Chain A
Amino acid sequence: MTAITFIRDLFDLLLVFALAIFVGFEVISKVPTTLHTPLMSATNAIHGVVLVGSIFVVATVFGAHLNGALLTALAFAAVVLGTINVVGGFAVTERMLQMFKKKEPAKK
């Protein structure tokens, strides 16, 4: 990789990174305390997108015919952990949110 492409790649990625920081702050800046736990749980589920990285790694390992015991085990474990993060994260958030119901205050 030449220095030019390297720097261009780096800045492309940094640009995305910088914008995402602002969006991350903006999107949750006005959240009520009531939703802090479900929100934390949902963001927890979203970083489960690391599973996509695990899938790429499996492809790299097999694509390069390096699928010996060690690398297969590492990539497999990465998929398992990533999936636990995704599935567990969304399921637990859904369970929390099922409990939020709007009701009239019971005042007479």
Chain B
Amino acid sequence: MTPLGPYLEAREIFFYAATLAAVVLFIVGLKRLSSPATARMGNRYAAAGMLLAIGASVWETNAIGWWVILAGIVIGGAIGLFSALKVKMTAMPQMVALFNGAGGGAAALISTSEFFVAVFGRGSDALSLNLLVIVSLVVSAIIGAISFSGSIIAFLKLQEWMTGRPVTYKGQQAVNALLALVIVALALVIMATIGGVPWYWYVAMLVGALIFGVLFVLPIGGADMPVVISLLNSFTGVAVAITGFELNYQLLIVSGTLVGASGTLLTILMGKAMNRPLTNVLFGAFGSTGGMEPAGGASGGGPQNIRATSAEDVAVMLSYAQQVVVVPGYGMAVAQAQHSVRELADQLEKKGVTVKYAIHPVAGRMPGHMNVLLAEANVPYNQLYDMDDINPEFPRTDVALIIGANDVTNPAARNVPSSPIYGMPILDVDKASNVVVLKRSMRSGFAGIDNPLYEDPKTSMLFGDAKASVDGLVAAVKAL
């Protein structure tokens, strides 16, 4: 399967030049993606690199089996393009999870095909496996399969086709550990015999890995989904890199490793933002044990002293403020309220109020989720502030307007050591002079923890769908 033949022809030179160009385009593209001004260019660089790499590989293989490739690209391209263009901006995170799962599945299928080529082609030297190939084949199959099934569970959770809560049962960790042991044992036997075992051993290992992916994501709650998607993204990267070892092709190694490394870094950054080590995210079953108890007994079974308010009252408060900080969360995303929020900000700015947006690193269901939604509503990105930049502003802020965010504003993270989110950095909204919370109901947040903020005397609650509430505010501000 090595693309390098015994002699070098013009076609080989073209192929290697295209590979090199693709690698450079990927790296430069990624670099450009780290600044808002050049990000679009960066994405196009990477896409150009991809087109080059695909073209070169078809050329290199003499387009053998071209009708399978053509049919696959037409069908896969139609599915990918259709879903990418149709998906609502709010459903973006689960879409990325699905695309990621597709990549992991492809890596697993490549390994599986290679394995069966060796099985059916037994006796032919050219098709026999060696140690490097069998080791990378088995490892990329396992990681790819875990990423595939794990991404599907992440999709189902975010799409709310299944519960977003952690799914736990007694002895879960023992079951997972046992399954992992079985997979590793099968993998070692397959490697040690260079694939010389009956084919169903391999299939058993693959099915085990698929089940493991499901079990691995099930106990992780929605609050941690951003971290999980990022982790699965880097899993697929690693699977692709190892596929590169299997096929002896550097392009796959470099690109897969780039994604694996950057994805790991992103995962670690997110873990840091939540002040929780990765092991805790993966094995802590967040929100299932601690979340059921009232936070530190402070609220004694649910909030008691809640002050509900009206759109008119809030409109007055906002219009006469010097500075308003908007704190968006998942509630804004589900209600598609971003355009109304922008309109409200415009109205307030007309009255001379300074409006800023506070973006917690894990607000919504994905890092940067809020930024994307607000950008869709044409909010200039220099009005968006990261947590560290906005927190010193709260004491100078007249109104903190919280639109469908919950856990990221929970002061229990700061002062209730028994709370499951204790230690997680939060937005210090309770330091503002007034806090207005737009919320559907008194249901607790995705992490399942009570929020003592709602009982703060400075806090008033405006219940209802976020979009309806914000539209009400816009009308009330206009009427003043």
Measured CA separation A39–B26 after assembly (Å): 12
Q: Which residues of A contact B304 (CB under 8 A)?
A: none
Q: Which residues of B contact A79 (CB under 8 A)?
A: 68-69, 71-73, 76, 106
A60 contacts B263, C-beta separation under 8 Å: no
Question: Of the candidates B27, B40, B54, B113, which one forms a contact with A23 in the assembled complex, judged by CB atoms under 8 Å apart?
Answer: B27
Question: Of the candidates A33, A80, A83, A91, which one forms a contact with B85 in the assembled complex, judged by CB atoms under 8 Å apart?
Answer: A91
Question: Of the candidates B77, B131, B233, B255, which one forms a contact with A6 in the assembled complex, judged by CB atoms under 8 Å apart?
Answer: B131
Query: Does B79 make an interface contact (CB < 8 A)?
Result: yes
A37 contacts B85, C-beta separation under 8 Å: no
Query: Does B248 make an interface contact (CB < 8 A)?
Result: yes
A84 contacts B76, C-beta separation under 8 Å: yes
B80 contacts A27, C-beta separation under 8 Å: no
B102 contacts A42, C-beta separation under 8 Å: no
Number of A-B pairs, beta carbon distance below 8 Å: 400
A63 contacts B64, C-beta separation under 8 Å: yes
Query: Does B211 make an interface contact (CB < 8 A)?
Result: no
Measured CA separation A1–B131 after assembly (Å): 10
Query: Does B58 make an interface contact (CB < 8 A)?
Result: yes
Residue of A6, A34, A93 with most chain B CB atoms under a 10 A cut-off:
A34
Question: Which stretch from B288-296, B382-390, B413-421, B460-468 is at the chain A interface?
Answer: B382-390
A107 contacts B77, C-beta separation under 8 Å: no
**Chain A residue, CB-CB nearest to B95:** A92
8 A Cβ contacts from B34-66 to A: 34-37, 39-40, 42-44, 46-47, 50, 53-54, 57-58, 61-62, 64-65
CB 8 Å contact bits of B249-263 with A (1 = contact, 0 = none): 111111111111111
Query: Does B346 make an interface contact (CB < 8 A)?
Result: yes
A58 contacts B116, C-beta separation under 8 Å: no
Q: Is the interface of B mostly helix, strand, loop or mixed?
A: helix
A47 contacts B237, C-beta separation under 8 Å: yes
- Shortest Cβ distance from A53 into chain B, in angstroms? 5
B229 contacts A47, C-beta separation under 8 Å: no
Given contacts A61-B117, A84-B76, contact A46 B30 (CB under 8 A): yes
B54 contacts A37, C-beta separation under 8 Å: no
Interface size on B, residues (CB 8 A): 124
Measured CA separation A98–B40 after assembly (Å): 7
Q: Is the interface of A mostly helix, strand, loop or mixed?
A: helix
CB 8 Å contact bits of A42-86 with B (1 = contact, 0 = none): 111111111111111111111110111011101111111111111
Q: Which residues of B contact A93 (CB under 8 A)?
A: 43
A40 contacts B65, C-beta separation under 8 Å: no
Query: Does B368 make an interface contact (CB < 8 A)?
Result: yes
Q: Which residues of B contact A70 (CB under 8 A)?
A: 116
Query: Does B105 make an interface contact (CB < 8 A)?
Result: yes
Question: Of the candidates B31, B79, B354, which one forms a contact with A27 in the assembled complex, judged by CB atoms under 8 Å apart?
Answer: B31
Query: Does B164 make an interface contact (CB < 8 A)?
Result: no
A74 contacts B34, C-beta separation under 8 Å: no
Question: Of the candidates B35, B40, B102, B266, which one forms a contact with A82 in the assembled complex, judged by CB atoms under 8 Å apart?
Answer: B102
Measured CA separation A20–B263 after assembly (Å): 13
> 10 tightest CB-CB pairs across the interface, nearest first?
A24-B261, A83-B76, A79-B72, A88-B80, A87-B80, A91-B84, A37-B368, A36-B367, A20-B257, A36-B368
- Enumerate chain A interface residues (CB-CB to B < 8 A): 1, 6, 9-10, 13, 16-17, 20-25, 27-64, 66-68, 70-72, 74-108
- Enumerate chain B interface residues (CB-CB to A < 8 A): 1, 3, 22, 26-27, 29-31, 33-37, 39-40, 42-44, 46-47, 50, 53-54, 57-58, 61-62, 64-65, 68-69, 71-73, 75-77, 79-81, 83-85, 87, 89, 92-93, 95-96, 98-100, 102-103, 105-107, 109-110, 112-114, 116-117, 120-121, 124, 126-127, 130-132, 229-230, 233, 236-237, 239-241, 243-245, 247-263, 265-266, 345-346, 349, 352, 354, 359, 361, 366-369, 371-372, 375-376, 378, 380-384, 386
